[in-house]
Structure 1
Amino acid sequence: MLTSFRLLALSCVLAAPSFSAWSDTGKLRLTGGISSVDGAGGGGVSPWALIGTQATEGEQGLSLSASRLRTQDYGLDTVAAAWSWNDRLELSLARQDFDASPAVALNGLGFAVSPGQHIRMDVLGVKWRVAGEAVLDSDSLMPQVAVGAQFKHTDAGSLRPVLDFVGAKTQGVDVYVAASKLLLERGLLLNATLRYTNANQGGLLGFGAAAPGRQARSLQPELSLAYLLRKDLAVGAEIRWNPNNLEAVGRAAGLGNALRQDAWRDLFVVWSPTRQWTLTAAYVDLGRVVPGVTQNRRQSGLFVASTWSF
């Protein structure tokens, strides 16, 4: 499924309207956000209504990003690319590589997880600005509003039998609506995103579960706040709630809260040394990620990312 989506996205880039120039004027710094772990323009863990890249109306743009997250027991590396047109359409592709080494502990339950197992997920995203314009409407109550979808495919390797056991699928689609309000005079950006999803840990642990009612999607909110300290430096915070689909399966199997999922939180700082380049550092708290194999430890750590936008 993802192969055809990649071809579709590439075709859209190659067939971009010939009258649309590549970004040469550019937005105000930081008003395109950074690339989230899902590839969409926004914050580190949540897509915003802002369209990524430096392209403004009548232009097309490109962004490339790489990020790394390390917690007490896990690691996540992401590379992503996004293309935008007319400051209205955004297409993104992301590749996530999740170090799931602690899952070897599941072999005590009869599974055969390979040592050092990684989970890899591809994400194709599309976002469309449907109303508002963050900068032009900064002196009114109107936010910028966008709708989006993310098509995800997970390659769990030797963990696939574990996902089959809990009834989690390896493909899923998230749909979301986001509203971003820029208060330019106060240097403040507020964003609220409502995601319709059944993804476990963003999809890295599959989608849905075998427990009654846990295959269906649910609405999950995400909130972000960013404060501009100066034109090239911002600080902020995010929180992203997630469906807790797997815990019920774990309890039914006598594992208690071994498969519980918590909300994700982060505190971040973003520096833009040039108009095209941003560097991000964040403290991220993912809560408990499969606490049954990590002695119930919360997973927190440092997230770093670099994004180039044109």
Structure 2
Amino acid sequence: MQPRSQLLISSLALLCMMHASLAVAQVLPSPDQGRLLATGGVTQLEGAGGGGLTPWATITGYGSEDSYGVTAHITQVGTQDYRLRTAGVAIGIADRLELSLANQKFTGSLAPLDKLELQQDILGIKLKIAGDLVTDQDSWQPQVAIGAMYKRNHVIKGLEALGITSVKQLGAINDSGVDYYLSATKLLLDHSLLINGTLRLSKANQMGLLGFGGDKRKQYQLLPEVSLGYLINRKLVLGLEYRSKPQNLAVDNEKAYYDAFLAWFPNKNISLTLAYAHLGDITVFNPKNQRGWYVSLQIAQ
């Protein structure tokens, strides 16, 4: 199957499932917020429920198995030379199915990339297939979920003087693609500890902002991601995250992401996450390890 046909089929399947799931949500009662505080996680950079850098097996919101929950988020990451803003909405249905829609906007502030603007839209779906985060405390069974993210780039802005308007001109094979992932999340209430492991199958360069595949490597790669969280109390979670990255492009010596975060859940309607993130090199045009603050606000219903 041709890559473009595969992406079209994947995106149509995601859209059909979203339409069907929203129809189901219409016959469910209003959001009951029946789950424990913080069990929906925060919102990940690509719009899924979980940590900041990596999706977890958690389902967004606080809706119980008889209801649903809705979240909206805005996230800002600022490094020495770049800014990344993500905004989006998500719905968790019956504590089993999650659908999300997000937009990422990446801008530069240092020449020669001070006019750079990259954007992409991300449509996500996640399905819980085994386990329960809270009720499986008497076994080592984690909550397990599978998911997919369809991503599509906008036109590159700010590099018109160089004749560059598409990620393909930077060496990417495609300007759209699909990430697939499997996440397992275990909450150990007796030890106030949350552990998550995610395996992601991806071709995405810098999460897809620089396209998919490249002049160095075209194939899907299996990439591990890890999160650890310590529950200081029922409203505060301190943690670490690591996310491995591919190296597909000659113009981008891509490095792993990692961060240290503090998430605050004052109630079930709002959460705030503050992190210090290390994003590695972004492009060879500005070869500098990018570090900076990450702030994310999530509103839940």
TM-score (norm 2): 0.89
**Structure 2 counterparts to residues 1-310 of structure 1, below 5 A:** 8=16, 11-12=19-20, 14-102=22-110, 104=112, 116-158=115-157, 159-161=164-166, 163-211=168-216, 214-246=217-249, 249-250=250-251, 259-290=252-283, 292-294=284-286, 296-310=287-301
Residues 32 and 42 in structure 1, CA contact (< 8 A), matched pair in contact too: yes
Q: 1:124 to 1:103 in 2, by over 3 A?
A: farther
Contact 1:139/1:183 (<8 A) preserved = no
The alignment of Structure 1 onto Structure 2 pairs a total of residues equal to 287
Paired letter, 1:95: N
* Secondary structure class of the residue paired with 1:194: strand
Q: CA deviation at 1:164?
A: 2.4
Change (3 A) 1:18 1:239: same
* Percentage identity across paired residues of the two chains: 39
Instruction: Spell out, residue by residue over 1:161-181, the C-alpha distance to the aligned partner (whole angstroms, 9 max, x if none).
Output: 553241431101000000000
1:286-305 Cα offsets, whole Å, 9 max, x none, are 01111x222x2110100001
Q: Does the CA-based 8 Å contact 2:65-2:95 persist in structure 1?
A: yes
- Relative to 1, partners in 2 of residues 1:276 and 1:165: Cα closer, same or farther, differing over 3 Å? closer
Measure, in 2, the Cα distance between the counterparts of 1:156 and 1:26.
Answer: 42
Q: After TM superposition, give the deviation of residue 30 of structure 1 in Å.
A: 1.0
2:4 is matched with none
Q: Matched residues in 1 for 2:25 and 2:171: separation?
A: 46
Partners of 1:3 and 1:162 in 2: CA distance: 20
Alpha-carbon RMSD across the aligned residues, in angstroms, is: 2.0
Distance in 2, Cα, partners of 1:75 & 1:298: 14
The answer to whether the 8 Å contact 2:156/2:167 transfers is no
- Native 8 Å contact 1:262 1:287 kept in 2: yes
Partners of 1:103 and 1:266 in 2: CA distance: 26
**SS of residue in 2 equivalent to 1:293:** coil
TM-superposition CA deviations, 1:29-76 (whole Å, max 9, x none):
111100101000000010000111111111111000011000011000
CA contact (8 A) 1:31 1:50 kept: yes
Residues 131-161 of structure 1, C-alpha deviations (whole Å, 9 max, x = no match): 0001011221000000000000011424435
1:5 CA displacement: 7.4
TM-score by length of 1: 0.87
Residue 215 of structure 1, CA deviation: 1.0
Whether the 8 Å CA contact 1:103–1:293 is kept in 2: the answer is no
The 1-side partners of 2:37 and 2:277 are apart by 24
Extract unaligned runs of 5+ from structure 2. 1-7, 158-163
Cα shift at 1:7:
5.7
Per-residue CA deviation, residues 207-262 of structure 1 (Å, 9 max, x unaligned), is 10023xx111100000000110011111101000011111xx35xxxxxxxx2000
Contact 1:54 1:276 in 2 (8 A): no
Following superposition, the deviation at residue 184 of structure 1 comes to 0.9
CA distance in 2, matches of 1:5, 1:122: 16
Q: Residue 185 of structure 1 aligns to a residue in which SS?
A: helix
